[in-house]
Chains A and B, each alone.
Chain A
Amino acid sequence: MTTDNHNKNAGDSILEKPISRRDILRLAGVGGAGLLLGASGVGAIFGAKGTTVSGAAKSSDKADRVEFFGKHQAGITTPAQDFLMFAAFDLTTGSVDEVRKLFKAWTEASAAMAKGDMIGENNENLNLPPSDTGEAAGLHPSRTTITFGVGPTFFDSRFGLSSKRPAALVDLPPFGGDELREEWSGGDIGVQVNANDMQIAFHAIRNLARIARGKAVLRWTQEGFQRTGGADPTGATPRNLMGFKDGTGNPDTKNDALMNDVVWAQSGDGTPWMAGGSYMVVRRIRIRVEVWDRSTLGDQEATFGRHRQSGAPIGSSNEFDPVDLSKKDEKGKPLIPVHSHVALARGDGSIKILRRSYSYSSGMDNRTGQFDAGLLFICYNRDARKQFIPMQQKLGQNDVLNEYIVHNGSAVFACFPGVREGGYIGDTLL
Chain B
Amino acid sequence: MKIKLAAIALASAVVFAGCGSNNNEPDNVKEASTNPEQSASKVENWDEITGQYRDFALDQTDKLVAETDKFVQAVNSGDVETAKKLYAPTRMYYERIEPIAEALGDLDPNIDARENDVEEKDWRGFHRIEQALWVSNTTAGAEDYASQLLDDTKTLRALIETVEVEPSLLVTGAVELLNEVSSSKVTGEEERYSHTDLYDFAANVEGAKKIYELLQAELKKQDADLEAQIGTGFSNLEQALADYKSGDGYVSYLDLKEEDTKKLSQLLDALAEPLSQMGTILGA
By a beta-carbon cutoff of 8 Å, the part of chain A in contact with chain B is: 92, 124-129, 210, 213-215, 217
Contacts and interface: CB of A to CB of B under 8 A. Distances in A.
Interface string B12-31: 00000000000000000001
B55 interface: no
Question: Which DSSP category, helix, strand, loop or mixed, fits chain A's interface?
Answer: loop
Nearest to B274: A214
Contacts of B277: 128-129
Nearest to B283: A127
Given A125-B284, A128-B277, A213 B270 contact: yes
Contact of A213 (B273, B280, B283): B273
B274 A127 contact: no
B31 A126 contact: yes
B266 A92 contact: yes
Nearest to A209: B269
B168 interface: yes
Interface string B250-284: 00000000000000001001111110110110111
A232 to B, nearest CB: 40
23 contacts: A92-B266, A92-B270, A125-B279, A125-B284, A126-B31, A126-B32, A127-B39, A127-B284, A128-B277, A128-B279, A128-B280, A129-B277, A129-B279, A210-B273, A213-B272, A213-B273, A214-B229, A214-B233, A214-B270, A214-B271, A215-B270, A217-B269, A217-B270
- Please classify how large the interface on chain B is, using the bins under 10, 10 to 19, 20 to 34, 35 or more: 20 to 34
A239 to B, nearest CB: 37
A210 B276 CA distance: 12
B274 A126 contact: no
A128 B284 CA distance: 8
A126 B38 CA distance: 9
B282 A127 contact: yes
B171 interface: yes
Contacts of A129: 276-277, 279
A-B interface, 5 closest residue pairs, ranked by CB to CB distance from nearest: A213-B273, A127-B279, A214-B270, A127-B282, A128-B279
A151 to B, nearest CB: 18
Interface in B205-247: 229, 232-233
B136 interface: no
Contacts of B232: 214
Contacts of A126: 31-32, 35, 38, 284
Contacts of B282: 127
A217 B267 CA distance: 9
Interface hub of A129, A213, A217 (most chain B Cβ within 10 A): A213
Contacts of B279: 125, 127-129
A401 to B, nearest CB: 33
A218 to B, nearest CB: 8
A89 to B, nearest CB: 11
Interface hub of B31, B229, B266, B274 (most chain A Cβ within 10 A): B266
Nearest to B268: A213
B233 A127 contact: no
Given A126-B31, A127-B279, A128-B277, 16 more contacts: A92-B266, A92-B270, A124-B284, A125-B279, A125-B284, A126-B35, A127-B32, A127-B35, A127-B38, A127-B171, A129-B276, A210-B273, A214-B229, A214-B270, A217-B266, A217-B269
